[in-house]
Structure 1
Amino acid sequence: MQFLYVYEAGIILAMIVFGLVYVFVKVIEDRTQILLQFSLGILILVFSLSVIGGFEGMPYTVLSLGLFTLAILLFLKEIRYRKENTFYRGSTHHRYSYIHCVHQSSGLLGSG
């Protein structure tokens, strides 16, 4: 039961890191921010396994799992957003180009 609290603390820590990076470094891409969170989770995991070790390092391992969870969820959101946005932009662009060409050829836009 106590590991559940540590897991939630890892998710909260990941949200705090995400918020701080978003507020102070707005020019950073989403991919870079996800990579930052994932690498922070790896650092905590390596620290808990190699430096602390044993049963004392278990809470930190679960904390890193919370960071991994949020990084993976953000990665999945990014993939879904890119798929939807690419399809929508592509279809709108083609539709606009077709309509624009039809109006130009029919002379509905005026001769200028």
Structure 2
Amino acid sequence: MFIYMYLIGLLVGLGCYSLTYLFAKDTDNSRRVIVVFIIGAICLLGSLIIIGGFAGMPFGVLSVGIFTVSILLAFFGGNSLWKKAIYTIIISCVVLFVSFDYLNKVDYWVGKKVNYGDEVDLYSQQLQKHTNIKGYKTFTVSEGDKAIVLSLGEKMAGNNIEVLDVKEKANTTIIKIRTFYNQSNEKNPWIMIGLNRLKSNIVIMDTDGTIYKEVGKAD
């Protein structure tokens, strides 16, 4: 998220600089840069004073992107060739990053608790009989897709599981979840997460800091 906010900040900085040509055609480069810098400062102060805390951090990162543009244009904005180069490089980098991230994004889905196939069905039934099973187990389902069945254990009975995000980092698939109490009637709450691919290492973490290990390998 922070990378995206920085990239957005770069685009906002370029956009604000471009708008100065619309409202002040005869202004020199230094004043245009000052306008961009002030907008970045407003975003930074807003993230620190108005929003504050962790919630304000993304807007702080956005302001860094704006500051980056103001600094680059302060040094090179006086030359039209360098100015065009800055616009071209920044816009190209943003487009390439977004395209690469989109093409390499992990496709995942949360499966309904119906018939997935023999292995998953048998395991889901086993979870309700052996309620002490806590952690995840991987399966190969239809058309070679992968599936992870995560169970919380009997101590979390009555809870539900929500998948917040699935991403990859090097050779690791990282799954972030949230658990919450909703009077579920499952003795051992569980969820099936389908994925188009899995890395060799898997990390499943809850928002409360709990990290779930593979069944049979948990401490």
> Structure 1 length as normaliser, TM-score?
0.66
Detail structure 1 runs of 4+ shifted over 4 Å in the superposition. Answer: 78-81
Q: Secondary structure at the match of 2:49?
A: helix
Instruction: Give the aligned residue type for 2:17.
Output: F
Number of the residue aligned with 2:20 = 21
Note if contact 2:29-2:78 (Cα within 8 Å) is conserved in structure 1.
no
Number of the residue aligned with 1:67 = 66
Give the whole-Å Cα distance in 2 for the aligned partners of 1:41 and 1:25: 19
Instruction: Give the aligned residue type for 1:77.
Output: F
Structure with higher helix content: 1
Instruction: Quote how far apart the aligned CAs of 1:71 are.
Output: 0.3
Instruction: Quote how far apart the aligned CAs of 1:79 are.
Output: 7.3
Stretches of structure 2 that go unaligned for 5 or more consecutive residues are: 81-219
Number of the residue aligned with 2:29 = 30
Count residues in correspondence. Answer: 80
Number of the residue aligned with 2:44 = 45
Give the whole-Å Cα distance in 2 for the aligned partners of 1:59 and 1:78: 27
Residues 2-21 of structure 1 correspond to what in structure 2 (within 5 A)? 2-21=1-20
CA shift digits 1:61-110 (9 cap, x unpaired): 000000000000011115789xxxxxxxxxxxxxxxxxxxxxxxxxxxxx
Note if contact 2:17-2:35 (Cα within 8 Å) is conserved in structure 1.
no
C-alpha distance 79-19 of structure 1, shift in aligned 2 (>3 A): closer
Number of the residue aligned with 1:106 = none
C-alpha distance 27-80 of structure 1, shift in aligned 2 (>3 A): closer
Number of the residue aligned with 1:86 = none
Rg (Cα) greater in structure: 2
Q: Secondary structure at the match of 1:36?
A: helix
Give the whole-Å Cα distance in 1 for the aligned partners of 2:43 and 2:13: 12
Structure number with the bigger relative contact order (C-alpha 8 A, sep ≥ 6) is 1
Give the whole-Å Cα distance in 2 for the aligned partners of 1:13 and 1:80: 21
Instruction: Give the aligned residue type for 2:2.
Output: F
Give the whole-Å Cα distance in 2 for the aligned partners of 1:76 and 1:8: 20
> Structure 2 length as normaliser, TM-score?
0.35
Give the whole-Å Cα distance in 2 for the aligned partners of 1:30 and 1:80: 9
C-alpha distance 25-42 of structure 1, shift in aligned 2 (>3 A): same
